[in-house]
Structure 1
Amino acid sequence: MVKFTTLLTPENIRQGVVCSSKKRAFEMISHLVSSQIDDKDPEHSGFECLFSREKLGNSGLGNGVAMPKGRLPKGDKPIAVFLQLNTPIDYESQDHRDVDLIFALLVPSTICGEFAQTILPQLAEKLLDKSLCKQLRAAQSAEEIWQIFEYTDRLNNEETENNMSNGDIN
């Protein structure tokens, strides 16, 4: 089972972000990860990865949550960013609901296929959990958001262990 704290770092979490559009959110994400991308122009590279993938299909999951993703030409591990927006933005989501929670992923091309098949569906399911979303929206700091993700990972881990000890492998 995928863990938020395996993908995300506390440094890549922002709370109360003032952002006016999807494009501005992508720019902010790209700026945040620029020091983590191996490229001559990492900020532009991060933005282009997200923007070109978004052209293929909207990354709004519904319930005010978006999970934009992009493919990095280089790298050996995914880079994740979480933004809790101060005010929801029009994201052109299928449910027509504005987005205020953004979990962005930049994934190296060498592991994109595996990631898309296993990690992304699990992550999307977790991000759509109404209880988790409520907690993330109520968080007053980036540190509190990190603690929410740590707690969620711990709960999921305990649930998995309980299911395995009861003979339930699902």
Structure 2
Amino acid sequence: MNALTDLFALDRIALNNLSKNRAEAFAAVGQLFAKQADLEAEAIVGFLNAREDLGSTALGAGVAIPHGRVKGLKQPIAAFVKLQEPIDFSAPDGEAVSILIFLLVPEKATQQHLEILSSIAQLLSDQDTRKLLASEGSPEKVCEILQTWGSA
């Protein structure tokens, strides 16, 4: 079991998302999370934008981890979004982003937030895993990769 095992569920895996920019991607995931976490989509987008305003959450190599602490959220929740066409995300390497892992954590989950972010960053830094996620067309397989990554 790893820090990601309970974060991802099949209904939070979106492949071939049609968002054309950051605002559209955030709006889409805001709707997705709102259904799951009983929160307002606009509030979720606000938390994501507030964090992004501090600096891009793009890691480079075509991936980003938009995240935020959310008042009223009970448990961490994550979503995997693969865009049909890469979008600008102000990545440090200048590369457009096509894989986004969105993470929301409870407002007071500071240490847990950092541990989960670290695990996601490690997963996305693994070139083989990143390529596998980029090429995989099955939501079930993507969910399995995310849930079992790093497990022996």
Q: Please, what TM-score do these two structures have when normalized by structure 2?
A: 0.92
Q: Which amino acid aligns with 2:60?
A: G
Q: 2:75, 2:145 → 1: CA distance?
A: 23
Q: 1:35, 1:150 → 2: CA distance?
A: 21
Is 1:119 equivalent to 2:132 in the alignment?
no
Q: 1:117, 1:147 → 2: CA distance?
A: 23
Task: Give 1:4 shift.
Answer: 2.7
Measured on the aligned residues, the alpha-carbon RMSD in Å equals 1.6
1:157 alignment partner, SS class: coil
Structure 1 segments of 4+ aligned residues over 6 angstroms from their partners: none
Point out the more displaced range, 55-64 or 136-145. Answer: 136-145
Q: 1:103, 1:132 → 2: CA distance?
A: 14
Task: Give 1:13 shift.
Answer: 0.5
CA contact (8 A) 1:70 1:106 kept: yes
Is 1:147 equivalent to 2:151 in the alignment?
no
1:131 to 128, 135, 140: 128
Give unpaired runs (5+ residues) of structure 1: 159-170
Point out the more displaced range, 23-32 or 138-147. Answer: 138-147
Q: 2:29, 2:114 → 1: CA distance?
A: 24
Q: Please, what TM-score do these two structures have when normalized by structure 1?
A: 0.83
Q: Identify, as 1 or 2, the structure richer in helix.
A: 1
Q: 1:100, 1:129 → 2: CA distance?
A: 16
CA contact (8 A) 1:14 1:82 kept: yes
Q: 1:77, 1:149 → 2: CA distance?
A: 18
Task: Give 1:94 shift.
Answer: 0.9
Task: Give 1:78 shift.
Answer: 0.8
Counterpart in 1 of 2:16?
16
Task: Give 1:147 shift.
Answer: 2.7
1:100-111 residue pairs with structure 2 within 5 A?
Answer: 100-111=98-109
| Greater gyration radius | 1
CA contact (8 A) 1:60 1:94 kept: yes
2:76 to 62, 67, 78: 78
Task: Give 1:37 shift.
Answer: 2.9
1:22-47 deviation line (CA, Å, top 9, x unaligned): 111111110101122344xx111111
How much identity, in percent, do the aligned residues show? 30
Task: Give 1:151 shift.
Answer: 4.5
Aligned length in residues: 152
Point out the more displaced range, 121-130 or 99-108. Answer: 121-130
Give unpaired runs (5+ residues) of structure 2: none
Q: Which has the higher contact order (CA 8 A, sep 6+)?
A: 2
Task: Give 1:137 shift.
Answer: 0.9
